[in-house]
Amino acid sequence: MNHCSTIWTRAPLYLSGEMEAAERDAFEAHLAKCPACTLKIADHRNLDAALRSALGDLPDAGRVEQVVQRKISADRRRQRMAWAGAIAAAVILAAGAALAWARWSRAPEWYADAALDHRTEVIEGQPRHWRTGDAELAGVAARAGLELGQITALGAPGYRLERGRICGIDGERMLHLVFSNGTREYSVFVASHPGPARPVRTVRRGAEQVAGFETGHYRGVVVSEGSAVECAELAQAAAGRL
């Protein structure tokens, strides 16, 4: 570091103490043999000292701090209120969703009527005027807006349509069909019913398992003595064939 111009490029690092040891040694070696640079550095040091003396006092920032503290408190209040509002909204939303789900997923009351009909008419065998044979069954199917082929297809594999009759459930005429595999019987209640399609819903009513379906054009239930899964599969299959 032999040139004065280099010295003045790097001098700020020397004065701020940021210079690496090797560079600092070279810098000081130059100062040792250059009175002009030595004087300049001394002047800069004196200048810095004069500046610190003139401007170094710290002003009172009490007023600024007070205003800032007040605004921070207001900020915190706003944040707390925003959180409280968000939590309240979330709670209301969750409660609404739970209520809607409970209503939506609850099995309708008429499922119980269908279960009772199955118990009295199929399990207990109380006398009813059942229709049997293709001709009679086609007749009752037509009264429910269905064709014979449609109602026979509602049965699970291995089951055949044994008998059927029109009954009143939930203020509506429904076709009550009984399918049998020779040892077991289950009921399918079905009626034309325009409305939204819904997934199968199951409910237990005493010994009977009920699984309801709504296809958008028809609604119905399957009532059996089997498990909920088995009953739901029967209902799913019936809905798929309508």
Q: Give yes or no for residue 34 binding another protein (CB under 8 A).
A: no
Q: Give yes or no for residue 207 binding another protein (CB under 8 A).
A: no
Q: Give yes or no for residue 77 binding another protein (CB under 8 A).
A: no
Site for another protein in 185-204 (CB under 8 A): none
Q: Please identify, using beta-carbon distances, which residue of 30 and 198 lies nearer to another protein.
A: 30
Maximum distance among all Cα pairs of the chain, rounded to whole angstroms? 130
Sole window of 15-23, 109-117, 186-194, 209-217 interacting with another protein (rule: CB under 8 A):
15-23
Q: CB 52 → another protein: shortest distance, Å?
A: 6
Q: Please identify, using beta-carbon distances, which residue of 10 and 204 lies nearer to another protein.
A: 10
Partners of 174 in the β-ladder: 167
Q: CB 48 → another protein: shortest distance, Å?
A: 5
Contacts with another protein: how many residues (CB under 8 A)?
36
Q: CB 28 → another protein: shortest distance, Å?
A: 18
Sole window of 28-36, 38-46, 92-100, 112-120 interacting with another protein (rule: CB under 8 A):
38-46
Q: Give yes or no for residue 47 binding another protein (CB under 8 A).
A: yes
Judging by DSSP bridges, how do beta strands 172-180 and 160-169 pair with one another?
Answer: antiparallel
Token code pair at residue 5: 């111009």
Q: Burial of 107 by CB count in 10 Å (0-12 exposed, 13-18 middle, 19+ buried)?
A: middle
Q: CB 232 → another protein: shortest distance, Å?
A: 51
**Selection from 115, 6, 224, 165 nearest residue 238 by Cα:** 224
d(CA 89, CA 111): 36
**Selection from 217, 225, 216, 116 nearest residue 179 by Cα:** 225
Token code pair at residue 158: 């291995």
Q: Give yes or no for residue 21 binding another protein (CB under 8 A).
A: no
d(CA 57, CA 241): 91
Token code pair at residue 156: 């699970």
Q: Give yes or no for residue 5 binding another protein (CB under 8 A).
A: no
Q: CB 49 → another protein: shortest distance, Å?
A: 9
Q: What phi, psi does 107 have (nearest 5°)?
A: -70, 135
Phi-psi region of 74 (alpha: psi -120 to 50; beta: other; left: phi over 0): alpha
Helix 21-33 crosses helix 35-55 at what angle (to 10 degrees)?
A: 110
Q: Give yes or no for residue 18 binding another protein (CB under 8 A).
A: yes
Q: Give yes or no for residue 183 binding another protein (CB under 8 A).
A: no
Q: Where do contacts with another protein occur on this chain (CB under 8 A)?
A: 8-13, 16-18, 40, 43-44, 46-48, 50-61, 63-65, 67-68, 71-72, 75-76
